Structure 1
Amino acid sequence: MAALTVGATSAVLPPAHAAEAETYALTVRHLDRAGRSTGAYETTVTGISGPGADRKVKPHGDSGTTTVRLPKGRYMLDSYLFGKVADGADWIVQPRLDLDRNTTVTVDARTTARVDVRPPDRSADFLQGAMFVEVTHGGTTRFANRLTGTGNLRVAHLGPAAEPGSVRQSYNAYWTTGTATYALGHTATGARALTGLTRRPAAKDLGTIRVRGAARPGTGGRASVDLQPSTGPAIGAARRMPVPGTTTFFVAPERGPWDVTYWAPTAPGEPANRYSAARVAVRAGATTTLAFDHAVFGPALTGRHGVTRNGDRLAVDVPLLADGGGHVPSAPAYDTASTTLYREGKVVGTRSGAPGRAAFTVPPGRAAYRLTSTAQRKGAAGTATRVTASWTFTSGRTAGTAPVPVSVVRFSPRIGPDGTAAAGSELRVPVTVMGAAAGGHTRSPKVSVSMDGGTSWTRVPVEDGAVTVRNPRAGTGVSLRAELTDTAGNTLTQTLVDAYRTK
């Protein structure tokens, strides 16, 4: 790379082989908040269209003025001017820089206005913030961002307006108290970058996301919760919380839905275990509660078919140990797990490993199948020590990937974070069908309960989508079984041994 020096100014020139393209001199002057030339800046010029579409240069000169030659075309310029930490910084964005002649641009910190986004609780401490800008032209999008750790950020638009709707800019800021985190933000779309931003929501303007963490037997300590906007580029914030326990986020609905990631504490020697809840919607004045690592653990089909066939390959993906909220763990705690497939009563194969996950190659002809998957957890007393699901269905060769009609049943009682319920009381256990039999494609499932680890079972009626269980004496495991047949004749038998315990 060659360098051009103009007085005290140094800039990077394009490679020699690019000299054939028509180029122009771009000179950038930088002025601080007092109007003086300053070398305390970082400027980036990013190509969007034309011969320089793939160019990204950071010209700099200690005098405050720098010149670079670039091919003709559309560019985005963003310049970050910084002084004393206490004074914060200025970020100036020119989303439309059409370089079709020798051009001089002046980046002037005096044009900026404050980003004033703060929570209603004045005792909250600022954690971090970030502003992002995306500029789209001719089908190409370019991106720039700035982080701030002080909250003293000022921003401004520079230059002519771009095309309507071509500039998308967002801001996230996080504040914390001893008990909660404020997640504030704003997104703007238009033809210009932001010049200043003011958002001071009242408590009633914010939504609440409350996260509850359970403590499975053998685990304890502290969990970690990450919160981040679901859409667009963004940064997030994390909170540590004791388990069992609860932590709270107050969030700005105008920033859209939010993604929550929960890192559960694990027993010594177990791998890190992560749960996720994507695109959690919030409304001003409303509370959304998410419970992670809670019983009753069991199969779930959220966001998946469970079993699919592609040609002569049958793939199984039914998480057997999703938590009580239906969240699928990244590293479920289990001792042994196996999945066995039968075709016309004969064993096709058995796979060991991750609970509810397997693949089999089967003959092409249409046939009757039975699929059984089991996970055993010896050290998980009170949180499903054994989970088994068995399905029957018919299947033949497919031209592409097609779902196989399987179902699961979710049991959702209100029990403690330690997986227990009060002995001697009546407990209402909601029953939900997921998968092929959902949505009226089956009559009410048959549900049975066992108080002796699954040795004997007693049928309990399903009424208004739930069963009522009379809890036995303290220290007893309560097991649950569901059986159903969908309208096409496919069946499910699902058993949760020690779904919860009494105390």
Structure 2
Amino acid sequence: MTTSPLPRASRSPRMPRRAALRSLAVAATVIASTLPAWNASASGAHPAGSPAAGRTGVTAEQPTYTLTIHHIGRDGRASQFYKTILTEFAGEGERHGFEPEGDTGTTTVRLPKGRYLLASMVWSGKSEEGTDWVVQPRLDLDRDLSVTVDARTTKLVDVRPPDSTADFRLGNMGLSAEYDGVVRETNMAIATPTLRVAHLGPAAEPGSIRQWYDAYWTTKRHSYALGNVVTGDRALNGLFRRPAAKDLGEIRIRGAARPGTEGTSVLDITPSNDLSTAYPLPTPAPGTTSLLVEPERGPYDIGYTTPRDEEGQGGVTYQAKRVATSPGHTTTRTFNNAVFGPSLPGGSGVTRDGDRLTVDVPLLTDGEGNVPSTPEYDTARVTLYRNGTRVKTVTGEPGQAAFDVPADRADYRVTATARRTGAPGAATTVTASWTFASQRTSGRAAVPVSAVRFTPTLDLTGAAPAGTALRLPVAVQGAAKGHTRALDVAFSVNGGTTWQRASVVRGVATIPAFKSGTSVSLRAKLTDMAGNTLTQTAIGAYRTR
């Protein structure tokens, strides 16, 4: 792998993420067949000398200065195509946006004294010639200033995969600048591999600039996510990289679909550590997609949306955060596959705050533990019992309800059920029923509930091989994890009318072999050391074929 020299900049681990301080300064999109479209709200800055030039909130005691920005194209003439954003470091990071007025290529504005981040996009009006992006991370407005954004100073961003047959799909260049503990960001997306970039102005503080470039390419076999990060005191003046195949790692995405729900799903891929444009990648469902990445870029956030209907409706979205790999290795993530059931990703899905009992348990978590944003279901209800008497039933979202209860201690049972139609193996009914004792609390407190996760190896239609016993790993989440007194696992092949117990040895149950086309249901009964219980069932948990 080779990298072109980068003036006064070196690669290093990323700066700590300061989410509370980060502010999107610029988001730009360049569409290959049209002129660039800037996607940032301007502040309403006014030309110098206009009645509103002082800007709302600027007092007589707050000094202001005139800033003149000249925009020069690659032909050396005043540019008629530019979009420039100035972002204040002070306050809430107000943004000031400028576009051409006339053909002078010059903008004049009066602004408060302070440090600004300037990002300017210049182009010729011909999409095939690409875009020039000039960034001045340190603009100290402490007097009247004149700045020249000159596209002739830019150099090409040329980052390509080792496969010469790959086609470019999307790119994103971003930059963050830190000053006095405040971080401001700017970025832009491109649809052609013709971006040119340059630094403008004096160097900023050492290590205060973090710049990244993400490029997505595709071939018939793979997609590539090539990501580069540079830190230093200046913005990039071009970038050249040719990663070798041995330096790449693989993220393999498996998308499941039960019979009758096949189609095209969509992957959204974005680096976890920086503000960047998500790359939407259509992929067949059921099917497997290979994404080759540069591991040094860091982890990626993966979104997976199941196929929608002909009218674009429906579809379930899952999110997998911080998926990482290493050179020469493969990380595999599977979405939307059986066995579906409850999970406790936050540790406790039932809480009590004073006299209010809240249930928040994802009932239709997929087999790998991915929680759907909007699960597919037909009906759902949660019922609360107190000392054996039904209190109330809430219908609506699966596993979601809140109840007001008396202050004194009592025995409770909460039963949550979700039903949905579909082929066998789609978990047509999922139920979880918990028992526990509870009384008024002085604040929000976890109620001791648990969940059992079944994670067999199934194909991408949620099926197990017929005629072969199935190995069924069993894991406990929540209050009973590490504190389980008893755990029984059972299976049914008649929709839960009758159940047969399965032996569990070292956390693995064995389900006997069945003929092709059998719908197998699963049940778990659990008691923790404090006597709290769980009964959990999945009707049509998987099928055989």
Which of 310, 325, 329 matches 1:286?
329
Asked if residue 487 in structure 1 is aligned to residue 529 in structure 2, the reply is yes
Which of 365, 371, 374 matches 1:331?
374
Q: Does structure 1 retain, via aligned residues, the 8 Å contact 2:46–2:109? A: no
Please give the alpha-carbon distance, in whole angstroms, between the structure 1 residues aligned to 2:107 and 2:428.
69
Q: Does structure 2 retain, via aligned residues, the 8 Å contact 1:477–1:501? A: yes
Which of 348, 355, 360 matches 2:403?
360
**Cα offset for 1:137?**
2.3
Q: Does structure 2 retain, via aligned residues, the 8 Å contact 1:26–1:104? A: yes
**Cα offset for 1:477?**
1.7
**Cα offset for 1:329?**
2.2
Asked if residue 125 in structure 1 is aligned to residue 179 in structure 2, the reply is no
The equivalences for 1:419-498 within 5 A come to: 419-438=462-481, 440-443=482-485, 445-498=487-540
The equivalences for 1:47-446 within 5 A come to: 47-49=88-90, 54=94, 56-58=96-98, 60=100, 62-83=103-124, 84-265=126-307, 271-438=314-481, 440-443=482-485, 445-446=487-488
Please give the alpha-carbon distance, in whole angstroms, between the structure 2 residues aligned to 1:491 and 1:17.
60
- 1:418-437 per-position Cα deviation (integer Å, ceiling 9, x unaligned): 22222221111111111111
Q: Does structure 1 retain, via aligned residues, the 8 Å contact 2:139–2:201? A: yes
Please give the alpha-carbon distance, in whole angstroms, between the structure 1 residues aligned to 2:85 and 2:424.
58
Closer/same/farther in 2, CA of residues 79 and 337 from structure 1, 3 Å limit: closer
Q: Does structure 2 retain, via aligned residues, the 8 Å contact 1:218–1:267? A: no
Q: Does structure 2 retain, via aligned residues, the 8 Å contact 1:26–1:105? A: yes
Q: Does structure 1 retain, via aligned residues, the 8 Å contact 2:347–2:477? A: no
> Partner of 2:34 in structure 1?
none
Closer/same/farther in 2, CA of residues 217 and 268 from structure 1, 3 Å limit: farther
Q: Does structure 2 retain, via aligned residues, the 8 Å contact 1:223–1:265? A: yes
> Partner of 2:66 in structure 1?
25
**Cα offset for 1:403?**
1.0
Please give the alpha-carbon distance, in whole angstroms, between the structure 2 residues aligned to 1:11 and 1:154.
38
**Cα offset for 1:11?**
13
Q: What secondary structure does 2:505 align onto? A: coil
Q: Does structure 2 retain, via aligned residues, the 8 Å contact 1:11–1:66? A: no
Closer/same/farther in 2, CA of residues 41 and 383 from structure 1, 3 Å limit: closer
The one-letter code matched in structure 1 to 2:368 is G
Q: What secondary structure does 2:504 align onto? A: coil
**Cα offset for 1:3?**
4.8
Q: Does structure 2 retain, via aligned residues, the 8 Å contact 1:11–1:67? A: no
Closer/same/farther in 2, CA of residues 164 and 366 from structure 1, 3 Å limit: farther
Please give the alpha-carbon distance, in whole angstroms, between the structure 1 residues aligned to 2:129 and 2:148.
21
Closer/same/farther in 2, CA of residues 67 and 371 from structure 1, 3 Å limit: closer
The one-letter code matched in structure 1 to 2:119 is D
Please give the alpha-carbon distance, in whole angstroms, between the structure 2 residues aligned to 1:138 and 1:218.
57
> Partner of 2:21 in structure 1?
none
Q: Which range moved further: 96-105 or 357-366?
A: 96-105
Please give the alpha-carbon distance, in whole angstroms, between the structure 1 residues aligned to 2:507 and 2:234.
53
Closer/same/farther in 2, CA of residues 166 and 12 from structure 1, 3 Å limit: farther
> Partner of 2:86 in structure 1?
45
The one-letter code matched in structure 1 to 2:89 is I
Q: What secondary structure does 1:227 align onto? A: strand
Please give the alpha-carbon distance, in whole angstroms, between the structure 1 residues aligned to 2:214 and 2:165.
19
TM-score, normalization by structure 2: 0.84
Please give the alpha-carbon distance, in whole angstroms, between the structure 1 residues aligned to 2:46 and 2:156.
39
- 1:170-219 per-position Cα deviation (integer Å, ceiling 9, x unaligned): 22211112333211222233322122222321122222121112222331
- 1:367-422 per-position Cα deviation (integer Å, ceiling 9, x unaligned): 22111122233434222222221111111111121111111111111122222222
Please give the alpha-carbon distance, in whole angstroms, between the structure 2 residues aligned to 1:264 and 1:462.
34
Number of aligned residue pairs: 497
The one-letter code matched in structure 2 to 1:359 is A
- 1:206-264 per-position Cα deviation (integer Å, ceiling 9, x unaligned): 22121112222331222111111122210011122222211121122222221111111
Q: Does structure 2 retain, via aligned residues, the 8 Å contact 1:210–1:247? A: yes
The one-letter code matched in structure 1 to 2:443 is G
Closer/same/farther in 2, CA of residues 463 and 152 from structure 1, 3 Å limit: same
Q: Does structure 2 retain, via aligned residues, the 8 Å contact 1:271–1:331? A: no
Closer/same/farther in 2, CA of residues 500 and 72 from structure 1, 3 Å limit: closer
Please give the alpha-carbon distance, in whole angstroms, between the structure 2 residues aligned to 1:218 and 1:444.
39
Q: Does structure 1 retain, via aligned residues, the 8 Å contact 2:382–2:401? A: yes
Q: Which range moved further: 314-323 or 40-49?
A: 40-49
Query: Structure 2: 5+ residue runs without aligned partners?
Result: 1-44
Q: Does structure 2 retain, via aligned residues, the 8 Å contact 1:336–1:353? A: yes
Please give the alpha-carbon distance, in whole angstroms, between the structure 1 residues aligned to 2:397 and 2:93.
47
**Cα offset for 1:57?**
4.5
Please give the alpha-carbon distance, in whole angstroms, between the structure 2 residues aligned to 1:108 and 1:494.
66
Q: Does structure 1 retain, via aligned residues, the 8 Å contact 2:486–2:528? A: no
- Alignment RMSD (CA, Å): 2.7
**Cα offset for 1:96?**
1.1
Closer/same/farther in 2, CA of residues 483 and 56 from structure 1, 3 Å limit: same
**Cα offset for 1:332?**
2.6
The one-letter code matched in structure 2 to 1:282 is T
Closer/same/farther in 2, CA of residues 454 and 233 from structure 1, 3 Å limit: same
Q: Does structure 1 retain, via aligned residues, the 8 Å contact 2:489–2:502? A: yes
The one-letter code matched in structure 1 to 2:403 is F
Closer/same/farther in 2, CA of residues 100 and 419 from structure 1, 3 Å limit: closer
Q: Which range moved further: 135-144 or 221-230?
A: 135-144
Q: What secondary structure does 1:445 align onto? A: strand
Q: Does structure 1 retain, via aligned residues, the 8 Å contact 2:258–2:461? A: yes
Q: Does structure 2 retain, via aligned residues, the 8 Å contact 1:49–1:137? A: no
